[in-house]
Chain A
């Protein structure tokens, strides 16, 4: 925030803000830093895949067929002679996109729901959180499968559906935050000083609730990607010729005895990404000092 100006006015020594503190702590966590770097690298590779790779993503070489890794094809080729590295990077674009979009959907629903419940309190709160409890108890996977069956295997729908089942933890966390903050002395002080409501929300509530939201967003992305991989693995998600890491693994399983690299490299891509996201999320949780509430 604009800490320096305020500190100068009151004449206090300039302190480090929460974010500077957190940044220092995060940088000291080697696993989290490694996770962050790995993630950035994977994302960049996937995004710029079309510029980096000499092969097309559907470009077949039926004469070559499934070949083990070589100088021409670093990670080998699949049964149609398609370059595996190319397919993994293109698949990664879908997997990562699902992660980001579905998490975004979950974020919007969860934060809104939790903030309204926490701010309103009383009966509205009880009703809204009871609803979350109920939905929490339901088998998500079944509903995702059900919705995919009912509405057809549409990629955009997959994003929305996954997002629509992953917002619950976020709602609980935001509600707990808002509820707790409302009773804090500094908020009471701000109220008694006559600060307008929007100023209280902007200056006090949002900055204080944003830490846990960031942490759980980072931890929701791997959960979402895993769910997409599940669905695609079962053949209900991404449809060929498009691919995601889940569907590549699913294809790899079919021929894993003869061509194990078709299973191992897509699997590696997925698990390294999940590792990186989890390490980064844990690091952020420690850095921002978010207590792990029930999740």
Chain B
């Protein structure tokens, strides 16, 4: 197990290096300098600024310097907000984004697995069709539509919940989390149903039933362990999707998160911020994929047997 984790961590290093390199050079080749928007900067000031951002050095030594900064956990200064570092911006935005993602994931797992198990217990009956139709709606209804519609209904017409903000008024976290989690709940429901259906037809389930175990124990203890493996494997990639989805949710609900900062940085051409947050996101996602792989391996003894091997 440890060997597997260590190996995957080692594999993550070249991945991140590629991401950093590609992003760095892409951003450097982008048209328009960071100060091109400002009117008539005095040459001395410009030179001083360029020196501060190391733009006066050759590209390759800029790249090396950036790598060494990263190794020290330093993302450099922001282009757009002088005096603020990218680290500060990430630290300011990340807690809200992380919390939002966590709640959404929780909603997805609880709601999705519940619906999936329910559907798998009586396939092709109403208790299967109903949750699965709801899941289909969840998949087809894009976040960018679901969010505004929820605001329209629960925020403006019924006036039950606050329409925007994050952590200012009680209940304002509910709509954003629900919006972000809905589509993933739908995917989780489908995966759980598929996984459970497959497991429930296996011999060891029949054995468990034949032993006279109560149905509850058979489902929750024996079947679920095998049935959730596809869900666990999905959670890694889902987390990546959650982060991207949070761009839209954050802008709809005005959540002061990293997603909104990133989109603003994209508009402002705040290159160091774009660069820093891309690398930050990529690192997070690589770590999450690792976590979900390890969890899936821990749940599935067959996968554990050839740990370290290629899939």
Contact = CB atoms under 8 A, between A and B. Distances in A.
Interface of A: 126, 130, 134, 136-143, 145-152, 222, 226, 229-230, 233-236, 246, 249-250, 252-253, 256-257, 260, 263, 267, 270-271, 274-275, 278-279, 292, 294
B286 interface: yes
A143 B141 CA distance: 23
B148 A137 contact: no
Interface string B230-246: 00010011001001100
Interface string B129-149: 000000010011111110011
Contact of B243 (A139, A250, A279): A139
Interface in B12-29: 15, 18-19, 23, 26-27, 29
Interface stretch (B35-43, B201-209, B274-282): B274-282
Nearest to A274: B140
Given A149-B274, A230-B247, A274-B142, A137 B194 contact: no
B30 interface: yes
Contact of A256 (B148, B277, B310): B148
23 contacts: A136-B237, A137-B15, A137-B289, A140-B244, A141-B244, A142-B262, A145-B263, A146-B26, A146-B266, A150-B30, A230-B244, A230-B248, A233-B144, A253-B252, A256-B148, A257-B152, A257-B156, A263-B145, A263-B152, A275-B140, A278-B140, A279-B136, A294-B233
Contacts of B136: 275, 278-279
B251 to A, nearest CB: 7
B267 A270 contact: no
Contacts of A294: 233
**Majority DSSP secondary structure for residues of A touching B:** helix
A140 B136 CA distance: 23
Nearest to A235: B267
B212 interface: no
Contact of B142 (A252, A260, A270): A270
Given A267-B145, A275-B140, A234 B248 contact: yes
Given A142-B281, A249-B145, A275-B140, A137 B266 contact: no
A8 B233 CA distance: 50
A275 B31 CA distance: 39
A234 B245 CA distance: 11
B173 interface: no
A150 B15 contact: no
A91 to B, nearest CB: 14
B303 interface: no
Given A134-B18, A138-B240, A139-B281, A146 B144 contact: no
Contacts of B244: 139-142, 230
B144 A147 contact: no
Leading 7 A-B pairs by shortest Cβ distance: A141-B244, A150-B30, A267-B145, A274-B140, A233-B144, A275-B140, A253-B148
B185 to A, nearest CB: 16
Nearest to B142: A226
Contacts of B277: 142
A207 B108 CA distance: 39
Given A139-B243, A142-B244, A142-B262, A270 B237 contact: no
Contacts of B194: 292
B152 A146 contact: no
Interface in B143-184: 143-145, 148-149, 151-152, 156
A234 B251 contact: yes
B31 A137 contact: no
A267 B266 CA distance: 26
B282 A139 contact: yes
Contacts of B282: 138-139, 142
B141 A149 contact: no
A221 to B, nearest CB: 13
B15 A249 contact: no
Interface string B251-269: 1100000000011001101
B138 to A, nearest CB: 11
B285 interface: yes
Contact of B144 (A137, A142, A230, A279): A230
Contact of A260 (B31, B139, B152, B274): B152
A135 B73 CA distance: 24
A126 B27 contact: no
A148 B263 CA distance: 11
Contacts of A141: 243-244, 247
Nearest to A225: B142
Contact of A146 (B156, B233, B274): B274
Contacts of A134: 15, 18
A149 to B, nearest CB: 5
A150 B27 contact: yes
Contacts of A148: 266
A138 B285 contact: yes
A142 B149 CA distance: 25
Which of B18, B139, B144, B278 is the most central at the interface, judged by chain A CB atoms within 10 Å of its CB? B144
A137 B152 contact: no
A267 B240 contact: no
Interface string B186-208: 00000000100000000000000
Given A141-B244, A149-B269, A278-B136, A234 B29 contact: no
A45 to B, nearest CB: 19
B241 to A, nearest CB: 8
Given A138-B19, A234-B248, A246 B144 contact: yes
